[in-house]
Structure 1
């Protein structure tokens, strides 16, 4: 079983400092804030540096879970970070002993889990922590678009501006394995003012919508809406994103009752 916390992009403070400037929030942030408006409690799985969790904590009770200490160190220092319950733990196995009105996994966190077994474990965590009337949402890039093709260090080179670090040159170079749908990529950064250069590789998995739907159903969850982007448009085969919004397929208090029929015992939910 792979451990996302082992990726230097997340555990190394020298690399974690670039995460926010390289991963700017936009309509995804706004959509999640809107979705949380009726929630009392929110669980942010794979919360990273805690931008969303800290913002939601102004109005909701928020718990943020991430395996990377370097990311959580940034999250704790963030304005509003003192209002969030930060938990360093693995999303696949964490069990907090409580349930939440909304569970979010943003920033394509779901893709850092590289096999069916690992992704099923994440979905089991969602199921174990969701209130009977709660909702979950996460995003995964659509593999049908094959957006990695043709991308390399040269043509991905771009500049970022950071208030503390100044001008940064960043690049990304991917390599896709067709046998397991895993993308291995290198992210690199050079701070032009100091000349500091750091880089590291990480991996993500691309899961097709049909496969994802089957895993979600097997986890005891049901999708109410499939979105294709964070503007709220419905999923279609050519959509850039695969975003399920759903709930529990049953309530934790449901139980199976045995009854008889002419064809033998059957199970019904009561």
Structure 2
């Protein structure tokens, strides 16, 4: 397994977790738009709707071309994305809790709000760590941005990079994509 991210800090956390679990992977600090790998792969996965964080059509095309070049001739590429028709409804400036996770002696709460969306969405994501008694211990703010990409545009770019699009799925259960209803 090879893992790629352009954040050295994120990869450091991944490497630590792999070591703690007695697992291994090649970890590369690269921009996926300029991906250069030492071998070809049968499968590439761009998870967590990350493709939408590649802002600008040129960079998106560069990323798809780089992934295509990293695959064996019959290699497969899985790319998860938001469905703009559904996702736009939450880009309204309202603070929403994403989730909370027990961590050490306290709880980590992740929340955020988003604005924009035509096509770039600007998000402020908050990471807050609370003690067992509910006192705020620390808070981190992560500014983010992503771009809504319609399914037809993505398919056109993917085909332009050399891919053959087999399926557009609407969720992680494999339901066919419905532009009006599918969450992803």
TM-score by length of 2: 0.88
Alignment pair present for 1:219 and 2:161: yes
> CA distance change for structure 1 residues 157 and 236 in 2, over 3 Å: closer, same or farther?
closer
Paired residue for 1:190? Answer: 128
Measured on the aligned residues, the alpha-carbon RMSD in Å equals 1.8
Alignment pair present for 1:99 and 2:37: no
Contact 2:5 2:11 (8 Å CA) reproduced: yes
3-state secondary structure, aligned to 1:187: strand
Match of 2:51 among 110, 123, 127: 110
> CA distance change for structure 1 residues 88 and 81 in 2, over 3 Å: closer, same or farther?
farther
Contact 1:103 1:137 (8 Å CA) reproduced: yes
1:83 Cα deviation after fit: 1.7
Paired residue for 2:104? Answer: 164
Q: Report Cα offsets for 1:167-208 as digits up to 9, x if no partner.
A: 233321101142xx1100101122121521221211011100
Inter-partner Cα distance in structure 2 for 1:159 and 1:127:
34
Q: Report Cα offsets for 1:85-109 as digits up to 9, x if no partner.
A: 1111110002114210100000111
Contact 2:35 2:67 (8 Å CA) reproduced: no
> CA distance change for structure 1 residues 150 and 165 in 2, over 3 Å: closer, same or farther?
farther
1:165 Cα deviation after fit: 5.7
Match of 1:83 among 24, 33, 40: 24
> Pairwise mapping of residues 209-248 of structure 1 onto structure 2 (< 5 A)?
209-238=151-180, 239-241=182-184
Question: Stretches of 4+ moved more than 6 A in 1?
Answer: none
Contact 1:104 1:138 (8 Å CA) reproduced: yes
Inter-partner Cα distance in structure 2 for 1:185 and 1:105:
20
Inter-partner Cα distance in structure 1 for 2:22 and 2:52:
25
3-state secondary structure, aligned to 2:123: strand
Paired residue for 2:62? Answer: 121
Inter-partner Cα distance in structure 1 for 2:8 and 2:154:
29
- Structure 1 residues not aligned, in runs of 5+: 1-61, 242-270
Contact 1:190 1:197 (8 Å CA) reproduced: yes
Inter-partner Cα distance in structure 1 for 2:98 and 2:45:
30
1:135 Cα deviation after fit: 0.8
TM-score by length of 1: 0.61
